[in-house]
Amino acid sequence: MMRYIPGFRLELIFCLVLCLLAVHAADSRAEFIGGTVDSFQAGQEGMLELSQPDEMKFGTRAKQVRIPFARVRSIEYGQKVDRRYLSAILISPMFLLSKKRDHFLTVHYRDAEGVDQALVLRLPKNSVRPTLASLEARTGMKVKVQDDEARKAYRS
């Protein structure tokens, strides 16, 4: 016979909520790689927010850039695929069979002054499809895929 531990259900629900919040936080992270936006340094981590119906936001606690979906001119997705040579040398030759993939999102848009701008972000692998699907739905544009590896990953 199983005994119920008081508060067990409450703890289970609390843990579930924390896990879901952690997954959401991980999915909205992005790394600034480059572009014409001078507010950020290359390699700076930030949050990408697509929940607003009329604009997307990327920023840190100190700085933020807002891009209205109506001003987006194009969206591009690409990958950089590398073999894991260093891991193969240091740990195991089996790492030669695996690949490391970096996922890049480029957003071309016009700012409030009418000047063309570009924002290049590196996305975590678990947020690529939701991010691209959200951008396609909000902007009404199709994502341009830059290479065959990215095409296989995105449209498979």
| The pLDDT of residue 26 | 38
98: DSSP letter: -
The answer to whether residue 156 scores a pLDDT higher than 70 is no
Give the pLDDT band (50/70/90) at residue 86: low
Q: Measuring CA to CA, which residue among 69, 54, 46 is closest to residue 120?
A: 46
The whole-number pLDDT of residue 151 equals: 72
**Tell me, which fold does domain 29-155 have in CATH?**
PH-domain like (2.30.29)
Confidence (pLDDT) at 7:
56
Contact 105, 50 (CB under 8 A): no
- Express as a percent the part of the chain with pLDDT over 90: 47
User: Whole-model pTM?
Assistant: 0.73
